[in-house]
Amino acid sequence: MKKKILIADDSSFMRMTLKDILEKGGFEIIGEAERGEDAVEKYKKLKPDLVTMDVVMLGEGGIQAVRQILQFDAAASVLMVSAIGYQTQVQESLQAGAKGFVIKPFKPEQVLEEVRRVTHDES
């Protein structure tokens, strides 16, 4: 059974890029969010196996969204997405409960490797 993923990023180009990489890797994209608060609401409705969460987004950022998702579901799997230069925010995200991170610009094999690790997907 395909793992279901919610993509949260304020850039439509980044959402499209991640969606393409993940679908080609055998994952199902069940939703997308542009803002942290949208990601929290969609998580509650869709209950994905994984959320890819951009660290920096308009409105409520990714770190706050991770905290809210984990308050709702302590077993949630969130993979942070960050541009180079945001190491402090990545560390803060991991301390908030994110399970891992990937760095932009994406290398498809690294994204898939990290997603499989976090979701325990052996395919």
* Percent of the chain residues topping a pLDDT of 70: 96
Second CATH level (architecture) for the domain 4-119: 3-Layer(aba) Sandwich (3.40)
Q: What confidence score (pLDDT) does residue 53 get? A: 95
Burial of 74 (0-12, 13-18, 19+ CB in 10 A): exposed
> Which carries the bigger pLDDT value, residue 31 or residue 83?
31
> Which carries the bigger pLDDT value, residue 86 or residue 81?
81
Query: Alpha carbon 115 to chain centroid distance?
Result: 9
Does position 68 have pLDDT exceeding 70, yes or no?
A: yes
Report pTM.
0.93
Q: What confidence score (pLDDT) does residue 123 get? A: 63
